[in-house]
């Protein structure tokens, strides 16, 4: 069946954070918050980089940029038009000495420690799921990754000093990307996390090829504790698993879980749903389609052919009821695209291109929100050829557009 191509209007691109001496990346790992009245907050990983060696651009936590990055919150007070640096807040600093980072997260395990009263259902709240490498050392001497939640009551201007530890139900590792938590009518919260195993020799499952699984966690005390609820069906074909998972709660009460199946039974953006509050889930199905690509005609004749079609999908339900899924494309032409559903996910459009002018594949991880005037704003990391090494400076860019 031929799919309709969404029409985008008033497309405009902007820059949030750029320096030829910095690697700015992966906002989807950290978050976006829309407080209304033009106030937006976007978080990203922000690290020094000389763009001379592979370690300068590597995503490794041990040798690459993520291991020396701060999680930086930027704020706009004019609907994303400008991002003054005086509003910047460092939410987490991975470049701190290991002992100092361990001392911060150890507060989560102190018995009887007083906790701040923060209501995560408040319109002024913010939450950040940190993934620091602060656990016990593996056989190579590197600390393993852990998961902690930091909350803010004042729109991310200050953050609690005692975090909450989130634990794997079976003793392995886990992490959560920054898609907004689902809030139920009774005020309880839910999110999805990626789970992986840690083995007796200290090796980590997702680094050794073991598929990652997806699990639903809930909180009924505004984020002071997080409890395992249920597993979401995983890929059983021996691939890398389903990642970049996100939840949407429909007005009907149906939960939808969006994810990317990475080199498993298929390589596609998928969706499944639950009608019992997340306890049971349908088998995920693809929501993208082959044979109607808008990217093919835009490819330069001499362009490389390697790369992936989809990376880091970000779903959101608009005020008019349509669901938009924004994603990165890491195959030429490199850029940011989307698909749309007008019937709560029963059917989906063909892909539309937001932009296709990236200089390489190291881009994407979008976050997005609907602005007060109905425009959509999405932020992501991007690369353009500016003379810096390895294809150009990685920076935080953004796009505004309307769906016709």
Domain ranges (residues) in the chain:
8-403
Residues forming a β-bridge with 379 = 367, 398
| One-character DSSP codes across 203-245 | -BGGGTTPPBEEEEEEESSTTS--EEEEEEPPP-SSSSBEEEE
- Give which of 361, 351, 239 is closest to 306, Cα–Cα: 361
Helix runs in 162-306, H state only: none
Lowest mean pLDDT among 155-164, 209-218, 266-275, 390-399: 209-218
pLDDT of residue 171: 77
pLDDT of residue 238: 65
pLDDT tens for 271-284 read: 999 999 999 999 99
In total, the chain counts a number of residues equal to 404
Lowest mean pLDDT among 112-116, 199-203, 246-250: 199-203
- Model confidence at 201, pLDDT cuts 50, 70, 90, reads very low
Residue 196 predicted with pLDDT over 50: yes
Could you please state the CATH topology (level 3) that the domain comprising 8-403 is classified under.
Neuraminidase (2.120.10)
Q: Count the Cβ atoms, other than its own, within 10 Å of residue 144.
A: 16
């Amino acid at each position: 069946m031929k799919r309709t191509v969404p029409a985008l209007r008033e497309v405009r691109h902007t820059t949030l954070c750029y320096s030829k001496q910095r690697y700015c990346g992966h906002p989807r790992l950290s978050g976006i918050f829309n407080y209304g009245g033009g106030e937006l907050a976007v978080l990203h990983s922000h690290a020094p980089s000389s763009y001379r060696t592979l370690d300068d651009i590597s995503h490794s936590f041990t040798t690459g940029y993520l291991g020396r990055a701060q999680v930086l919150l930027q704020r706009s007070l004019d609907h994303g038009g400008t991002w003054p640096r005086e509003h910047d807040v460092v939410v987490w600093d991975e470049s701190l000495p290991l002992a100092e980072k361990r001392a911060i997260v150890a507060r989560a395990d102190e018995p009887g420690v007083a906790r701040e009263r923060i209501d995560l259902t408040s319109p002024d709240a913010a939450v950040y799921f940190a993934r620091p490498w602060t656990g016990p050392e593996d056989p190579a001497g590197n600390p393993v990754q852990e998961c902690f939640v930091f909350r803010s009551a004042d729109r991310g201007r200050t953050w609690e000093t005692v975090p909450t530890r989130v634990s794997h139900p079976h003793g392995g590792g886990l992490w959560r990307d920054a898609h907004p938590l689902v809030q139920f009518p009774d005020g309880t919260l839910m999110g999805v996390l990626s789970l992986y195993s840690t083995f007796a020799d200290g090796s980590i499952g997702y680094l050794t090829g073991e598929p990652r699984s997806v699990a639903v966690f809930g909180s009924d005390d505004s984020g002071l504790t997080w409890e395992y609820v249920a597993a979401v069906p995983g890929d059983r074909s021996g691939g890398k698993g389903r990642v970049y998972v996100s939840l949407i709660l429909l007005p009907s009460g149906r939960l939808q879980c969006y994810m990317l199946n990475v080199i498993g039974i298929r390589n596609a953006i998928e969706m499944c749903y639950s009608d019992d509050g997340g306890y049971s889930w349908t088998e995920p199905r693809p929501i993208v389609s082959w044979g109607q690509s808008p990217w093919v005609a835009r490819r330069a004749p001499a362009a490389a052919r390697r790369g992936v079609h989809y990376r880091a999908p970000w779903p959101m339900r608009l005020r008019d009821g349509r669901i938009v899924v924004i994603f990165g494309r890491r195959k030429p032409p490199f850029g940011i695209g989307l698909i749309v559903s007008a019937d709560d996910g029963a059917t989906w459009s063909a892909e539309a291109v937001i932009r296709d002018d990236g200089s390489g594949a190291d881009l994407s991880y979008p976050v997005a929100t609907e602005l007060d005037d109905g425009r959509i704003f999405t932020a992501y990391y991007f690369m353009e050829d500016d003379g810096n090494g390895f294809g150009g400076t990685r920076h935080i860019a953004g796009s505004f557009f309307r769906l016709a």
